[in-house]
């Protein structure tokens, strides 16, 4: 299964993740969801693996720019799915798929654990 990093290239956290992946020689496809978009199937699959509250970045600028009425409408997976399809920038970044369980966000420790587990599977 291929590993894909979803995000937007000018996001600082995405930049850090991409640098970590390059430094550790990890072959990961980058999917710019602002330019390439996201399908309902992709986001629905994410929501089967993670809670919508993990995927929707309610601390970010995009969320804060939404009207109070629009924010109040996001109360469950279905409403979060519609919001993420309307406005992918509201998704917490980056999303890493295909390297074990779906992962959101980035830290050196987090990616070290993910790819150490991935390396163990390859060796088996």
What's the pLDDT at 58? Answer: 95
Q: Per-residue pLDDT tens for 86-112?
A: 999 999 999 999 988 999 999 999 999
Q: For the segment 49-88, what is each residue's pLDDT rounded down to a tens digit? A: 999 999 999 999 999 999 999 999 999 999 999 999 999 9
Asked if the model's pLDDT at residue 114 lies above 90, the reply is yes
pLDDT recorded at residue 122: 46
Q: Pick from 122, 92, 93, 84: which is nearest to 18 by CA? A: 93
Label residue 17 by pLDDT band (50, 70, 90): very high
What does the alpha-carbon distance between residue 58 and residue 69 come to, in Å, rounded to a whole number?
Answer: 14
Contacts of 118 (CB under 8 A, 6+ apart): 99, 100
Answer whether residue 118 shows pLDDT above 90: no
Q: 4, 45 in Cβ contact below 8 A?
A: no
Residues 11, 30 contacting (CB under 8 angstroms)? no
CATH number for the domain spanning 88: value is 3.40.30.10
**Any idea what the Cα angle at residue 58 is, between residues 62 and 65, rounded to 5°?**
30
pLDDT score recorded for residue 1 = 67
Number of CB atoms found within 10 A of residue 12's CB: 9
Please give the tally of structural domains in the chain. 1
- pLDDT average, residue stretch 16-20: 97
Please enumerate in sequence order all residues whose Cβ is within 8 A of that of 117, keeping only pairs 6 or more positions apart, or say none. 100
Domain extent for 117? 4-123
Over 60: is that where the pLDDT of 23 sits?
yes
Among 3, 11, 60, 110, the active-site one is 11
> Is 11 one of the catalytic residues?
yes
Provide CB contacts within 8 A for 77, sequence distance 6+. Answer: 47, 52
Tell me the H-state helices in the chain. 12-23, 40-49, 52-55, 61-65, 68-72, 77-86, 108-123
Q: In this model, does residue 124 exceed pLDDT 50?
A: no
């Amino acid at each position: 299964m291929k590993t894909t990093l979803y995000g937007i290239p000018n996001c600082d956290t995405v930049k850090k993740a991409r640098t970590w992946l390059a430094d550790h020689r990890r072959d990961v496809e980058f999917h710019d969801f602002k330019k390439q978009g996201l399908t309902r199937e992709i986001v629905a699959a994410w929501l089967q693996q993670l809670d919508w509250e993990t995927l929707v970045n309610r601390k970010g600028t995009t969320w804060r720019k939404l009207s109070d009425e629009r924010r109040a409408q996001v109360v469950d997976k279905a409403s979060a799915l519609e919001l993420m399809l309307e406005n992918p920038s509201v998704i917490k970044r980056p999303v890493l798929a295909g390297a074990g369980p779906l992962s959101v966000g980035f830290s050196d420790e987090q990616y070290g654990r993910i790819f150490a587990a991935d390396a163990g599977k390859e060796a088996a």
